[in-house]
A and B are shown apart, each in its own frame.
Chain A
Amino acid sequence: MQGGAQHLAYRGRTASIGFAHGPFVRVDADTSGERVAGSLVEEALALRKAIDTASGQIAELAAIAGGEAAQILEFQVALLEDEDFIEEIFAAIGEGDAADVAWRSALDAQIADYNSAEDEYLKARSSDLADLRDRVMTILRGGGAEALTIPSGAVVCADDLPPSRFLEIDWSGGGGLALLRGSPTSHVAMLARARGIPMVVQLGAVPEFGATALLDGEGATLELDPNAEQLRLFEKRRDIHRKSRASARAILRRPTALWRGERIKLFINIQGVGDLAHADAQYADGIGLMRTEFLLSEPGGLPDEEAQFAAYDAVLRWAGERPVTIRTFDAGGDKPVPGFTTDGEANPFLGVRGLRLCLARPEIFTVQLRALARAAVRGNLKVMFPMVTSADELEAGRKLFADVVQRLQAEGIAAMLPELGIMVEVPAAALSVNTFKAAFFSIGSNDLAQYVLACDRSNGALAPLMDPLHPAVLELIARTAEHGRRAGVSVSLCGDMASDPRCVPALLNCGLRELSVTTSALAQIKQTIDRLSGGGGLG
């Protein structure tokens, strides 16, 4: 980077794409301010008032935010209303502690306790407690109105930002978020993506002061007090980004994606009919993957046949003649389900999961198969089994399914056996793909890469090794695609690779002609294919 000390650029990691140019605002919790403690009674009153104010603020935020964000905040409200917990803090004040000291030490003790837990869920809660601690501290120190002073369109910079602080900021005028630490998988990153606010995390050290900032959510850079040249380059990048989005929208509306004259089918991955509300969903060639595990986590235990039938039928009705591929329960591994999955496995990713679990629990599996057999007569349904290792498992599943269809028909209920396929995610299945009598194959590249590379995909320390473009992974994808081509069986890929423009050229070169992507990536992937087709060069 050229230029003097005033024109500084910092690089981090992308958490949400987009561009922001605005005033630079640091919002770190001010922990340096000193309070002058009053009498015992004054201190008790000050804390009581601060708790009431905090409670009101959080309730207001929860009402505005709704949904998941509201649930995160509800725990904080419950803690403020916990008389046992609050009484101990007042007792400390009674013994001479200042309000802020008593509050901080009680919350710090809780946070330390949560952090020392073995349990990841409990550890994650400690950031909610820190959020609550800082909110009450700010009020006690006479702050509290700080959030309101953030100007519209600002590039907000903080060490890390809890979801409640994000929700307090008025983002209606745009702006961006630059975090020195933070993570792309945090709650606040999810909120930023949902709002379309650019966000860059892990920037490291950034100066305390600056007048204007440029935040580039694509290049993951923050530039402070830019000179004319930096500003010009930034605007150029922003312009390219906007035009590219506009052209992606135009390409999205075209009926088919073509690559070197061949048609590329683009499907979408969904959880339920709710996901089809996305404006781009209508441009998909069908549903390439409908997950069904969400049905298992609804309150009231395992779902009955009617609830499942309704969920599948709603998607088939939306799709009309387009194909809908539904994956049977893929529980186990990192997705435990009480009353269904096996507890205490030493290595759940290599344990009783996916089709293995379903075959071990036929009383649960047959309920799903009944619902699917009934849905099959309502549209263009295909069913696939996850985590299949050997052809015998596919045949065992097919036999269960055929029996279910027979029983339904004997009961006089309309039902049929849909096309049956498998996920290719176990390396053994990819290497022996010609032994499976499947009507179609869908490559689950996330698990396939995890198993081939021997890298737990949830382990951040292995991120550099966890490369889906590793030649070994591509080799297995190419083999599967080649088998499909020879046998005249369709092969698609529904993992994260399909939604990543950087992976698309390799996938097309492996011989894949069907991809299933997240709905929000559909426009970009269609555009990527169009570019590759026009440009040639990437042969």
Chain B
Amino acid sequence: MLDKADGQIFSGNVRLIHAVGMHARPAVKLTKLAKKFQAQISVRVEGAAEWINAKSVAKIMAMRAAHGSTIEIKASGGSDAEAAVAALVKLIETDFPDEVS
């Protein structure tokens, strides 16, 4: 157990089950949720060269993640990096439900 989580990188990955892939509605939901966290959060389609800022809707859309692809998530900094990864994994896993608290 680290007494200070700041330097640590948390990560997770999740399969995108949304019917049409990462489109406007899911992209908006994902960035909105990401912005609730202090941590720096990046995502990429599994194996892609570049990590993308999870708080940028334009970049998430440009990622063109297709239905069935796996999304990798990593977060660091702030005190909420671990929670951020868990929340984003859950959002994608549950197919972007309408109520996300």
Q: Which residues of A come within 8 Å of B, CB atoms?
A: 71, 74-75, 78-79, 81-85, 110, 113, 117, 119, 121-122, 125, 128, 297, 299-301, 336-339, 343
Whether B56 contacts A121 by the Cβ 8 Å rule is no
Q: Which 7 A-B pairs have the closest CB atoms?
A: A84-B56, A299-B97, A85-B58, A78-B57, A75-B24, A78-B28, A338-B19
Question: Residue A299 contacts which of B27, B56, B61, B95 (CB distance < 8 angstroms)?
Answer: B95
SS class, residues of chain A in contact with chain B: helix
Q: Are B58 and A82 in contact (CB under 8 A)?
A: yes
Q: How far is the CA of A78 from the CA of B24 in the complex (A)?
A: 10
Contacts of B46-66 to chain A: CB distance below 8 A: 53, 55-59, 61-62, 64
Q: Is B17 an interface residue (CB 8 A)?
A: yes
Query: Do B95 and A82 touch across chains, with their CB atoms under 8 A apart?
Result: no
User: What are some 15 contacts across the A-B interface (CB < 8 A)?
Assistant: A71-B25, A74-B28, A75-B24, A75-B28, A78-B28, A79-B58, A82-B58, A84-B55, A113-B62, A125-B61, A299-B95, A299-B96, A299-B97, A299-B98, A343-B67
Report the bound CA distance from A343 to B62 in whole Å. Answer: 23
Distance A85 CA – B58 CA, assembled complex (angstroms): 7
Q: Which residues of B are found within 8 Å of A128, using beta-carbon distances?
A: 24
Name the A residues within 8 Å of B68 (CB-CB).
343
Q: Nearest CB to that of B59 among chain A residues? A: A84
CA distance A339 to B18 in the complex (A): 10
- A79-B58, A117-B64 in contact; A84/B17 too (CB < 8 A)? no
Chain A residues in 8 Å Cβ range of B57: 75, 78-79, 81-82, 85
Q: Is the CB of A82 within 8 A of B23?
A: no
- Is the pair B31, A82 in contact by a Cβ cutoff of 8 Å? yes
For B24, the chain A residues whose CB sits under 8 A away are 75, 125, 128
Instruction: Tell whether A338 pairs with B62 under 8 Å between CB atoms, given A85-B56, A300-B94, A343-B68.
Output: no
CA separation between A276 and B32, bound complex, in Å? 35
**A84 & B94 in contact (Cβ 8 Å cutoff):** no
Given A78-B32, A338-B17, A338-B67, A84:B95 Cβ within 8 A: no
Contacting pair B55 A83 (CB below 8 A):
yes
Residue in B closest to A113 when the chains form the complex, CB atoms: B62
CB distance from B101 to the nearest CB of A (A): 14
Residues of B contacting A110 in the complex (Cβ-Cβ under 8 angstroms):
58
Instruction: State A74–B98 Cα separation when bound (angstroms).
Output: 13
Contact of A339 among B17, B23, B64, B97 (CB under 8 A): B17
| A340–chain B nearest beta-carbon distance, Å | 10
Shortest B49–chain A CB gap in Å is 18
A402 smallest CB distance to B (angstroms)? 33
Residues of chain B with a CB closer than 8 A to A125's CB: 23-24, 61
- Nearest CB on B from A31, distance (A): 23
- Does B9 lie at the interface of the complex (its beta carbon under 8 Å from any beta carbon of A)? no
Q: How far is the CA of A70 from the CA of B93 in the complex (A)?
A: 25
Give the chain A neighbours of B32 by CB distance below 8 A. Answer: 78
For B27, what are the chain A residues with a Cβ–Cβ distance below 8 Å?
A: 75, 78
Is B86's beta carbon under 8 Å from chain A?
Answer: no
**Which chain A residues border B21 with CB–CB below 8 Å?**
119, 121
Q: Does B83 contact A (CB under 8 A)?
A: no
Q: Residue on A with the closest CB to B57? A: A78
Q: Which residue of A lies closest to B24 (CB)?
A: A75
Contact with A along B7-50 (1 / 0, CB 8 A): 00000000001111101110110011000000000000000000
Nearest residue (CB) in B for A343 is B68
Could you tell me the distance in whole angstroms from the C-beta of B24 to the nearest C-beta in chain A?
Answer: 4
B90 shortest CB reach to chain A, Å:
12
Known contacts A78-B32, A83-B55; 7 further A-B pairs (Cβ under 8 A)? A75-B28, A110-B58, A121-B20, A121-B23, A125-B61, A299-B97, A338-B67
Q: Across the interface, which residues of A come within 8 angstroms of B31, CB to CB?
A: 78, 82
Partner of A82, one of B20, B56, B64: B56
Chain A residues contacting B62 (CB-CB under 8 Å) are 113
Chain A CB within 10 Å, residue with most, of B19, B23, B94: B19
Nearest-Cβ distance from residue A414 to partner chain B, whole angstroms:
32
Closest to B17 in A: A338
Query: Distance in Å from the Cβ of A114 to the closest Cβ of chain B?
Result: 8
Question: Contact: A83 with B56, CB < 8 Å?
Answer: yes
Docked pose: A68 CA to B33 CA in angstroms? 21
Chain B residues whose C-beta falls within 8 Å of the C-beta of A301 in the assembled complex: 94-95
Q: What are the residues of chain B within 8 A of A84 when measuring CB–CB?
A: 53, 55-56, 58-59
Tell me how far the C-beta of A426 lies from the nearest C-beta in chain B, rounded to whole angstroms.
25
Near A by CB (< 8 A), chain B positions 75-101 give 94-98
Whole-angstrom CA separation of A237 from B19 in the bound complex: 46
Determine how close the nearest CB of chain A comes to the CB of B43; give it in whole angstroms: 13
- Interfacial chain A residues near B56, Cβ < 8 Å: 82-85
Q: For the complex, give the distance between the alpha carbons of A121 and B25 in Å.
A: 11
Least CB distance from B60 to A in Å reads: 9
Q: How far is the CA of A110 from the CA of B24 in the complex (A)?
A: 14
Cα A113 to Cα B97 in complex, Å, equals: 28
